[in-house]
Structure 1
Amino acid sequence: MFLSTKRLILREFMPEDWQAVLAYQADSRYLKFSGWETRSEADVRAFVEMFLKQQQVPGIKFQLAVELKYERKLIGNCGIRKQEPESHEASLGYEIAPDYWGKGYATEAAATILKFGFEELKLHRVYSWCIAENTGSVRVLEKIGMQLEQRLPENERFKGRLWDTLIFGISKDEWLNKTEQ
């Protein structure tokens, strides 16, 4: 699978991608809102291997490497995941290397995978979640048209504390209305 935007390529993972993923997942800025304390080569190889295995099961999980189009540099990943092949709802997730935060790449990738979900997968609804303090991620979800549906107080425990989780969602009709504006 291959999707393209003005500045990005969203493509299937390759085994050698683990090195680029490790480079950003080991960054303390990335780890701040992650459930992981650290990331090792073995951790990241298993992470990429999980995506490689998902690529072998068509029609359910589409987690794609995010690459700068002209530099051909992997800077993150973005995906949309159904629970069952016939599901009409899916979750959306993304991560971008901290050196590329604030440049619109997460928004560009997430908007592209959202469009894929509604147009190609014929989804009715897409949802996502993030830690409330991750304001960058909150902005991405708002920019792609998702609306806050629920705040779950202190429901995530990691890094020795409780965090609030925000649930965002958008229906196909809401998405169509926003894209027509």
Structure 2
Amino acid sequence: MLLQTDRLLLREFTEADWPAVLAYQSTRAYQRFYPSGCTEADARAFVNRFLQWQQEKPRWRYQWAIALQKQDKLIGNCGIRKSHPDAPEAEIGCELAPEHWGRNYPVEMGRLLLRFGFTEIGLHRIYAHCIAENRGAVSLAQKLGMSQEGRLRENVSIRGQWHDTLVYGILKQEWEAKV
């Protein structure tokens, strides 16, 4: 399955994508909001999980490799995932190589994921979790029209420090009123 915007191509992962995943997930900037480092084995397992999801029938978890339209170079990934095949809601998320931050790519991806979730999958609600200090993720949720629904206090430990997680969500009727 392929999705695209004017600047981005969201394509299925291939086995050959793990080196690019390792490259960006190993950077200090990326690691700031993740609890552990990334090894070759981690990157391979990360990609293999998404390859397995591609085989699900019916499909209920989608995770795409993100590439620039003009070149098929992986610069991150994004996805929309139900908790089980019949769930009326799904979580969205994205990650981008730090050298591509500040170009508004996540807003393009997020809008595409919302449209896909509400129109193609038929979801009622889409939500996102983000570390409270991750200003980029918080800003993205707000730009997508999501409302803060809750705060999970000190539920994630990253290198010995506890962090709150914010929960953002949007209902189909709210999304329809904004598009």
TM-score range, shorter chain: over 0.9
Structure 2 CA distance, aligned partners of 1:122 and 1:114? 11
Residue 52 of structure 1 aligns to which amino acid in structure 2? L
Equivalent-residue separation in structure 2 for 1:40 and 1:154 (angstroms): 27
Structure-1 residue corresponding to 2:38? 39
Give the number of aligned pairs: 178
- Give 1:86 deviation, angstroms: 1.9
TM-score under structure 1 normalisation?
A: 0.96
Which residue pairs with 2:23 in the alignment? 23
1:60-79 alignment runs, 5 A limit: 60-79=60-79
| Counterpart Cα distance in 2 of 1:164 and 1:85 | 29
**Residues 134-177 of structure 1: per-residue CA shift (max 9 Å, x gap):** 00111111111111111122121121011011000000000011
Q: Which residue of 2 aligns with 1:51?
A: 50
In structure 2, C-alpha distance between the alignment counterparts of 1:161 and 1:66, rounded to whole Å: 30
What is the root-mean-square deviation of aligned Cα atoms in Å? Answer: 0.9
* Runs of 4+ with >3 A deviation: none
Distance in structure 2 (CA, Å) of the matches to 1:35 and 1:11: 27
Secondary structure, aligned partner of 1:86: coil
**Pairwise CA distance, 1:71:** 2.1
Task: Quote the sequence identity (%).
Answer: 49
Superposed displacement of residue 110, structure 1: 1.5
The answer (yes or no) to whether the contact 2:33–2:158 under 8 Å persists in 1 is no
Matched residue, 1:103: 103
Gapped runs of 5+ residues in structure 1?
A: none
1:4 deviation in Å?
Answer: 0.8
Q: Deviation at 1:84?
A: 2.0
Q: Which amino acid aligns with 1:76?
A: G
Task: Give the whole-Å Cα distance in 1 for the aligned partners of 2:81 and 2:156.
Answer: 21
Please identify, of 146-155 and 165-174, the stretch whose mean Cα deviation from structure 2 is larger.
Answer: 146-155
Please say if residues 76 and 97 of structure 2, whose CA atoms lie closer than 8 Å, have aligned partners that are also in contact.
yes
Structure 2 unaligned regions, length at least 5 = none
TM-score by length of 2: 0.97
